[in-house]
Amino acid sequence: MLPLLHPALPLLLGATLTFRALRRALCRLPLPAHVRTDPLRTWRWHNLLVSFAHSIVSGIWALLCLWQTPELLVEIETAWSLSGYLLVCFSAGYFIHDTVDIVVSHQARASWEYLVHHVMAMGAFFSGIFWSSFVGGGVLTLLVEVSNIFLTIRMMMKINNAQDLLLYRVNNMQVRGPWEPFYWASCSCWM
């Protein structure tokens, strides 16, 4: 089926618009004083809040997908589940939203590595969305979002100049602990 007529397009559009609405809602929350004084930090803070929400939802969802459909762990190219498919659509919507947010906010030059990452992730996810292959690989890749929860907390604390807090140091150890196994497990799917 042609991608322009594909039934997943409303899912992608819905997920993208959901993240846009979430960003608008989060922009209404009060900002930490240190963040409020700098427009770049303000944009970054809002961007990280949306990323944090995506990491929590997709990380937990990926774990639930694997618990519900364990064959996604073994047959990463051919295994398929509705929950895994919806998760990949949801995350592709996030990456579309974040890419547009970075470009529209004139942060492309400073955030080029995120854009490269997003384009590569979307390419992999579109394989699962439009051709129903590698949905299992997409779900496994999204396991890294579990550790991104802690990484995002770390980045938010750093932007807020809270590196002296014990919570920052404890979280920093959390980032290094689970990140590597999730990262390497995710990378090995595509090799």
Q: How far is CA 164 from CA 38, 158, 167, in A?
A: 21, 10, 9
Q: Per-residue pLDDT tens for 134-171? A: 999 999 999 999 989 999 999 999 999 888 888 878 87
pLDDT at 189 over 60: no
Residue reference for tokens 């890294």: 144
Assigned token pair, 43 = 């944009």
Closest to 49 (Cα-Cα) out of 137, 155, 142:
155
Assigned token pair, 190 = 């595509």
E strands, 17-71, in order: none
Q: CA–CA separation, 115 vs 68, rounded Å?
A: 32
Q: Per-residue pLDDT tens for 15-52? A: 999 999 999 999 999 999 999 999 999 999 999 999 99
Q: In which band, very low, low, confident or very high, does the pLDDT at 3 lie, cut at 50, 70 and 90? A: low
Among left, alpha and beta (phi > 0; psi -120 to 50; other), residue 161 is left
pLDDT at 184 over 90: no
pLDDT number for residue 170: 83
pLDDT number for residue 107: 96
What secondary structure, in 3-state letters, does 27-64 show? CCCCCCHHHHCCHHHHHHHHHHHHHHHHHHHHHHHHHH
Q: CA–CA separation, 166 vs 152, rounded Å?
A: 16
The set of residues, in sequence order, having a beta carbon less than 8 Å from that of 71 and lying 6+ positions away, is: 79, 136
Q: CA–CA separation, 9 vs 131, rounded Å?
A: 13
Query: Could you tell me how many residues make up the chain?
Result: 191
- Range in 83-92, 138-147, 173-182 with the lowest mean pLDDT: 173-182
Q: Per-residue pLDDT tens for 96-117? A: 999 999 999 999 999 999 999 9
- Range in 9-13, 68-72, 111-115, 179-183 with the lowest mean pLDDT: 179-183
pLDDT number for residue 129: 96
What number is the average pLDDT over the span 122-142?
A: 94
Q: How far is CA 116 from CA 58, 63, 112, 120, 122, in A?
A: 20, 26, 6, 6, 10
Among left, alpha and beta (phi > 0; psi -120 to 50; other), residue 134 is left
Q: CA–CA separation, 149 vs 86, rounded Å?
A: 20
Q: In which band, very low, low, confident or very high, does the pLDDT at 186 lie, cut at 50, 70 and 90? A: low
pLDDT at 181 over 80: no
Amino acid at 109: R
